[in-house]
């Protein structure tokens, strides 16, 4: 039986940096927050299932949406319009200095609008893919539009004003969001206990991020692997494994016994650790708390069945490509004049290359974070930073690759390996997050 817990304060001087607790290290690190603060629900208030705000589109000049049923358009809880449905319609921000939003032919003098369907799953959003094709997803909950007025560039700039843009945020209940995340994150044939473990880790992660960023920004998580993959309800079937796992674990989170009491923590997870988990402090601006200290032995991710996540490589990349790629992202790289070789500058507490030293053709050197290096070259090409460097003249070979992702926290393939051996979700979570236990954050 799970103990009821009111999460009154889940912060522990958290400095979120790197990714916001990214599942497989698939994002570009951002600047760390510089302050620590207590975060959590107010005390003496019953905990309820929260809504989560997912950023679907950011700073786009326009977007398309459709509503397949009755809906309302609101601004600050005032209903501005009621409709029975909306065919595929263009939405854009006004070009005047005062922010406004245009939906079809109607212009609203507001910088923010909420579109609230009266029936679930009737909101459809259209996305243009990198190949120029269009696709769409259906979503539960509501959509919030944020307009950004055009910004005047500094005088002397040749390009005039930057255009007005729109952000689109989907607002849904957390449990529903989690079911969609599981659909996108896990393989359909994986064990229900893996689904349950992932549901608890994903829930804890979202609550941690929500309590860390709070109202300081207009969304909680990204819809991509920057946070957790989320593609609406398209692939969703009632009764699916993901829905069962979320229902079975409703409100349950991971906590650890901090000196200030039980707290949730940033439940990092990655696709495969490759043999041993990593310490969070080596990769992200977070303290090395016991559940994220790494060093957990795991060969359960060996079950990858040739998908090359437990072991991968060798991967050969020309020095010219490496140099050109890095130089386009970091002006300091140009000072090397070209790439002569790469050495491991330092390793993490658990032995994974952490800093790479680029040696230029002019003899100069530049240290880069291996995590950034990997993502610049492609997170699917170099599946982790756990590799051995071999210099082959014009190319570098990344050999003996281990694991997929940053390796901190839960190992997803390892969780599946343990589930197939009969381990329950609670056991899987306490294995990868040592010293942690499960609590119920809300009913």
Rounded least distance, CB 419 to Zn ion, Å: 13
Q: 125 vs 411, which CB is nearer to Zn ion?
A: 411
Site for Zn ion contains 309 (CB under 5 A): no
Q: Which is nearer to Zn ion, 313 or 414 (CB)?
A: 414
DSSP bridge pairs for 272: 404
Only segment of 79-87, 94-102, 180-188, 409-417 that touches Zn ion (CB under 5 A): 409-417
DSSP helix/strand/coil, 332 = helix
Mask for 223-262, x = binds Zn ion (CB under 5 A): ----------------------------------------
Binding part of the chain for Zn ion, among 95-103, 170-178, 413-421, 434-442 by CB under 5 A, reads 413-421
Question: What is the closest distance, in whole angstroms, from the C-beta atom of residue 381 to Zn ion in the complex?
Answer: 20
Q: Closest separation between CB of residue 298 and Zn ion, Å?
A: 3
Kindly tell me which of 174 and 298 has the beta carbon lying closer to Zn ion. Answer: 298
Nearer to Zn ion, 25 or 94 (CB): 25
Residues 6+ apart with CB under 8 A from 257: 435, 437
Is 411 an interacting residue with respect to Zn ion (CB under 5 A)? Answer: yes
Which one, 139 or 404, has the nearer CB to Zn ion?
404
Q: Is 429 in the site for Zn ion (CB under 5 A)?
A: no
Which residues between 287 and 306 bind Zn ion (CB under 5 A)? 298, 301
Asked if 363 and 338 touch (Cβ cutoff 8 Å), the reply is no
From residue 262 to residue 281, what is the string marking binding to Zn ion with x (rule CB under 5 A)? Answer: -----------x--------
For residue 87, CA distances in Å to 69, 81, 155, 249 come to: 10, 16, 42, 38
Nearer to Zn ion, 186 or 366 (CB): 186
Report how many residues bind Zn ion under the rule CB under 5 A. Answer: 5
Pick the closer one to Zn ion by CB: 212 or 267.
267
Site membership for Zn ion, residue 414 (CB under 5 A): yes
Question: Rounded distance, CA 261 to CA 9, Å?
Answer: 9
Instruction: Give the C-alpha separation, 322 to 215, whole Å.
Output: 40
Which H or E run contains 177?
helix 174-185
CB of 324 to Zn ion, least distance (A): 34
- Cβ atoms of 89 and 66 within 8 Å: the answer is yes
Cα–Cα distance for residue pair 333/209, rounded to 1 Å: 33
CA angle 232, 238, 244 (to 5 degrees): 95
In the Cβ-directed half-sphere of 318, how many Cα atoms lie within 13 Å?
Answer: 5
**319 by DSSP, 3-state: which?**
helix
Contacts of 131 (CB under 8 A, 6+ apart): none
User: Shortest CA distance to 20 belongs to which of 243, 246, 225?
Assistant: 225
Nearer to Zn ion, 65 or 272 (CB): 272
Tell me the CB-side half-sphere exposure of residue 246, using CA atoms within 13 A. Answer: 20
Give the x/- contact pattern for Zn ion in 361-400, rule: CB under 5 A: ----------------------------------------
Residues binding Zn ion (CB under 5 A): 273, 298, 301, 411, 414
């Amino acid at each position: 039986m799970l103990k009821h817990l009111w999460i009154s304060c889940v912060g522990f001087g958290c400095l979120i940096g790197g990714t916001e607790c990214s599942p497989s290290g698939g994002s570009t690190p951002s600047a760390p927050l510089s302050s620590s603060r207590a975060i959590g629900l107010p005390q003496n208030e019953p905990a309820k299932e929260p809504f989560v705000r997912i950023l679907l589109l950011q700073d786009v000049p326009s977007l398309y949406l459709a509503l397949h049923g009755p809906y309302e358009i609101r601004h600050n809880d005032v209903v501005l319009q009621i409709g029975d449905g909306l065919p595929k319609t263009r939405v854009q921000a006004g070009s005047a200095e005062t922010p406004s939003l245009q939906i079809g032919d109607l212009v609203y003098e507001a910088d923010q609008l909420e579109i609230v369907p009266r029936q679930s799953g009737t909101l459809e959003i259209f996305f243009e893919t990198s190949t120029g094709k269009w696709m769409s997803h259906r979503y539960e909950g509501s959509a919030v539009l944020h307009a950004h007025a055009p910004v005047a560039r500094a005088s002397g700039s040749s390009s005039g004003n930057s255009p007005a843009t729109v952000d689109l945020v989907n607002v849904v209940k957390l449990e529903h969001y989690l079911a969609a995340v599981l659909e996108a994150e896990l393989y359909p044939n994986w064990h229900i206990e893996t689904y349950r473990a992932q549901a608890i880790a994903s829930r804890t992660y979202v609550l941690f991020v929500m309590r860390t960023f709070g109202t300081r920004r207009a969304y909680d998580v990204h819809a991509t692997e920057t946070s957790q993959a989320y593609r609406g309800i398209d692939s969703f079937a009632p009764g699916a494994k993901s829905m069962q796992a979320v229902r079975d674990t409703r409100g349950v989170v991971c906590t650890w016994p901090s000196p200030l009491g039980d707290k949730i923590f940033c439940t990092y997870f990655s696709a495969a650790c490759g043999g041993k988990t990593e310490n969070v402090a080596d990769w992200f601006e977070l303290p090395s708390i016991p559940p994220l200290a790494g060093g957990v032995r795991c060969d359960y991710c060996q079950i990858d069945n040739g998908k090359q996540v437990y072991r991968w490589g060798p991967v050969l990349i020309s020095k010219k490509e490496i140099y050109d790629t890095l130089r386009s992202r970091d002006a300091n790289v140009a000072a090397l004049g070209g790439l002569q070789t790469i050495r491991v500058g330092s390793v993490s507490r658990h032995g994974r290359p952490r800093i790479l030293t680029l040696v230029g053709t002019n003899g100069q050197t530049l240290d880069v974070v291996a995590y950034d290096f990997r993502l610049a070259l492609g997170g699917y090409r170099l599946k982790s930073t756990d590799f051995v460097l071999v210099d082959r003249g014009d190319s570098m070979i990344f050999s003996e690759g281990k694991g997929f992702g940053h390796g901190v926290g839960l190992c997803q393939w390892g969780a599946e390996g343990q589930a197939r051996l009969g381990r329950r979700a609670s056991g899987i979570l306490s294995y990868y997050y040592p010293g942690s236990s499960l609590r119920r954050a809300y009913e």
